């Protein structure tokens, strides 16, 4: 057996220690690079996505917020509770970013006082008359949460569900995939509904929302996003100066309970004619029955479609900031709501009080109460079929 000298032993120990030191340095560099990936990507002009805790549900389950940023700095924050868009920061004509959607700074108000701010709406967006419908000779009864009607899926709709979230990234931008299983009988609806909603923020300054669902029993499905927009900045004032164009020659008139009569009437000659751009506040107080019934705008417009695929639903321009929002969708209709029931009792982000008409909503969807109107486009999803819907919100600014 060869005996090592003390010098050889000393050199071996030094080599071993140096190896450990190098390994530690490499590991620390990797960790620092991983932790700061989102920040580095954003500062380098690349899209990024980050996650943070946002509290817990009343059942003690963790709620998380995902921040998606594109190469131009446009930023959207989405939480897995209700798939709610917490904030949406977009640039004005001078490049200044501002939050253009209403909401709350904290999680708790979303449990109790939320008028569906930024939420995914389901299983059925809008109203179902008298809280019931008949499908395949079976009558289904739903909870009534809007006078005699069921509104936005009932008492506990998709806006109050905790979704499973999975972030992803590709060449076009960053995405957040949300999944939720609505069980058979939930809020009175039949069938186990497997639902998938994907938010994608592209480097073309577009926020795309893709909806997908399958069921094991025939059921109505009508999904949308209930964003409350103010392109001048959330909580800064009413939206009367916003110039609105809606690509629709017809609308669905409603009765005193805001349920469609079944007719499709022309907008021409009425305050509902937005086929040419006009300020939202120009005719909102006209003595027109449909406006009086809804205390403002709350009507479904029948989009002028040239065929399947994405079609322009609406375009909004805010003159003071130059911000422009264009909405494209595969849906047959868009609900224009002028936040008639905000009344100053809600304090939102940055301590701002939300008064009546401080926002507008443009909810792409099928028509209200379609399960009770066979003449309307069908909202019935059957086993073996897949529900698909896509809406794109494109942001830009004028160069004035």
Query: Of 318, 363, 366, 373, which is the active-site residue?
Result: 363
Concerning whether 226 is annotated as a catalytic residue, the answer is: yes
Query: Of 47, 116, 226, 373, which is the active-site residue?
Result: 226
Contact 357, 239 (CB under 8 A): yes
Query: How many angstroms separate the CA atoms of 100 and 85, rounded?
Result: 11
Do you know the residue count of the chain?
400
Closest among 388, 332, 371, 364 to 219, alpha carbons compared: 371
Count how many Cα atoms sit within 13 Å of the Cα of residue 221 in the half-sphere of its side chain: 26
For residue 50, the cross-strand partners are 67
Closest among 238, 131, 242, 137 to 189, alpha carbons compared: 131
Concerning whether 363 is annotated as a catalytic residue, the answer is: yes
Query: How many angstroms separate the CA atoms of 223 and 331, rounded?
Result: 10
Burial of 202 per CB tally in 10 Å (0-12, 13-18, 19+): buried
Backbone torsions φ then ψ of 293, nearest 5 degrees: -60, -40
Query: How many angstroms separate the CA atoms of 115 and 304, rounded?
Result: 29
Which residues are known to be catalytic? 226, 363
């Amino acid at each position: 057996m060869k005996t090592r000298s003390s010098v050889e032993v000393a050199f071996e120990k030094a080599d071993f220690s140096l190896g450990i030191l190098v390994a530690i340095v490499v590991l620390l560099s990797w960790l620092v690079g991983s932790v700061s990936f989102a920040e580095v990507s954003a500062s380098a002009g690349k899209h990024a996505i980050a996650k943070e805790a946002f509290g817990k549900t009343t059942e003690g389950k963790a709620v998380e917020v995902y921040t998606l940023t594109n190469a131009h700095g446009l930023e959207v924050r989405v939480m897995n509770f209700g798939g709610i868009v917490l904030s949406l920061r977009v640039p004005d004509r001078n490049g200044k970013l501002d939050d253009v959607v209403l909401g709350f700074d904290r999680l708790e108000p979303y449990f109790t006082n939320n008028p569906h701010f930024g939420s995914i709406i389901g299983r059925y967006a809008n109203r179902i008359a008298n809280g019931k419908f008949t499908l395949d000779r079976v009558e289904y009864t739903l909870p009534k949460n809007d006078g005699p009607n069921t509104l936005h899926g009932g008492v506990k709709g998709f806006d109050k569900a905790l979704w499973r979230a999975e972030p992803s990234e590709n060449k076009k931008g960053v995405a957040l995939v949300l999944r939720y299983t609505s069980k058979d009988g939930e809020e009175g609806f039949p069938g186990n509904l497997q639902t998938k909603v994907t938010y994608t923020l592209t480097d073309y300054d577009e926020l795309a929302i893709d909806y997908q669902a399958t069921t094991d029993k025939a059921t109505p499905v009508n999904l949308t996003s209930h964003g409350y927009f103010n392109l001048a900045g959330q909580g800064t004032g009413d939206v009367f100066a916003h110039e609105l164009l809606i690509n629709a020659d017809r609308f669905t008139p409603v009765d005193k309970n805001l349920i469609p009569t079944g007719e499709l009437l022309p907008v021409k000659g009425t305050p509902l004619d937005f086929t040419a751009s006009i300020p939202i506040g120009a005719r909102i107080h006209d003595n027109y029955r449909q406006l009086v019934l809804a205390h403002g705008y709350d009507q479904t417009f029948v989009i002028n479609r040239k065929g399947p695929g994405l079609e322009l639903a609406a375009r909004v321009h805010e003159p003071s900031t130059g911000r422009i929002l264009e909405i494209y969708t595969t849906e047959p209709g868009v609900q224009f709501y002028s936040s008639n029931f905000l009344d100053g009792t809600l304090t939102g982000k940055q301590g701002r009080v939300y008064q009546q008409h401080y926002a507008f909503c443009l909810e792409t969807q099928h028509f209200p109460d379609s399960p009770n109107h066979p003449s309307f486009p069908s909202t019935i999803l059957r086993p073996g079929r897949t529900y698909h819907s896509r809406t794109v919100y494109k942001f830009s600014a004028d160069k004035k």
